[in-house]
Amino acid sequence: MSFSDLMTGLMVIFMFVAISYILEVQKAEQQRQKVVTDFQDSKSAIYKDLRSAFDEEKKEWEMEIGKDLSIRFTNPQVIFALGKSDVTPTFQKILNDFLPRYFNILLKEEYRTRIKEIRIEGHTDTLAIYSKSSDPYIGNILLSQERSAKVLEYFRQMEYYKNLSEKQKEQLQYWITANGLSYGRTLDDNKQESFLSHEPINANYSRRVEFRIITTSEELIENIVNDMQK
């Protein structure tokens, strides 16, 4: 075999190896893109389900549905009495209608692997609650935490929750957290976070309860990065 024949054979082998590698890279990229697309489609589907379920009640309940999968109740007089954590009868009536429909959506099998956490968040204005702490921020942390816990407690006492299967209850106990954020994320007159907008705080809008769905997007991104580093 001549030297030129040997080089030609090596070039052919190298070409096939290169083509095989390129095809594998393209296949992996297509798989990653499919995972991202499927995830984005699921997030969009959850948002559409929430909009479809509650669009008619948004005005009556003074509720907002965000594309970030948050649901915000912004009428403080309806939700809690000033400085108190007990759920008002009016808000109980809203929760009786809202919570079963909300969790029926999230307990769908197609969303089970897309949800990482369901946060019940209590938010306050900057009014000091000295009965709970000499530090106004901590006093409001305690108040907002109590409020979110009271909402969760009310949900767990509902007949809807009691009638769920044990598997569904375990799933919700894994997902749901009750969080008090004090006045760390107050809102302005446009219902935007005042820390980011640098606008004056609207005390009424800031006193609120939010239900927020945290998806598994961070885990998805981490897995993709790990795959790319292999």
Measured in whole angstroms, how far is the alpha carbon of residue 84 from the centre of its chain? 26
Q: Does 8 have pLDDT greater than 80?
A: no
52 belongs to a structural domain:
yes
23 belongs to a structural domain:
no
14 belongs to a structural domain:
no
Q: Which of 31-40, 66-75, 146-155, 167-176 has the lowest mean pLDDT?
A: 31-40
pLDDT digits over 132-158, tens only? 899 999 999 999 999 999 999 999 999
12 belongs to a structural domain:
no
Q: Does 124 have pLDDT greater than 60?
A: yes
- Looking at residue 74, its pLDDT comes to 85
CATH number of 72's domain:
3.30.1330.60
Domain count, the chain: 1
1 belongs to a structural domain:
no
- Looking at residue 199, its pLDDT comes to 97
7 belongs to a structural domain:
no
**Domain containing residue 205:** 34-221
Where residue 179 falls (left for φ over 0; alpha for ψ -120 to 50; beta otherwise) is: beta
Mean pLDDT of 108-135: 91
Mean pLDDT of 92-103: 97
Q: Which of 2-6, 92-96, 142-146 has the lowest mean pLDDT?
A: 2-6
- Looking at residue 218, its pLDDT comes to 60
- Looking at residue 41, its pLDDT comes to 75
What is d(CA 87, CA 119) in angstroms, rounded to the nearest whole number? 17
pLDDT band at 126 (very low <50, low <70, confident <90, very high): very high
pLDDT digits over 180-203, tens only? 999 999 999 999 999 999 999 999
Half-sphere exposure of 158 (CA within 13 A, CB side): 22
> Is 70 in a helix, a strand, or coil?
strand
Q: Does 26 have pLDDT greater than 80?
A: no
227 belongs to a structural domain:
no
- Percent share of the chain, pLDDT over 70: 79
| Mean residue pLDDT across the chain | 87
- Looking at residue 206, its pLDDT comes to 92
Question: Would you mind telling me the total number of residues written for the chain in this entry?
Answer: 230
Task: Name the residue with higher pLDDT: 118 or 81.
Answer: 118
4 belongs to a structural domain:
no
- Looking at residue 222, its pLDDT comes to 59
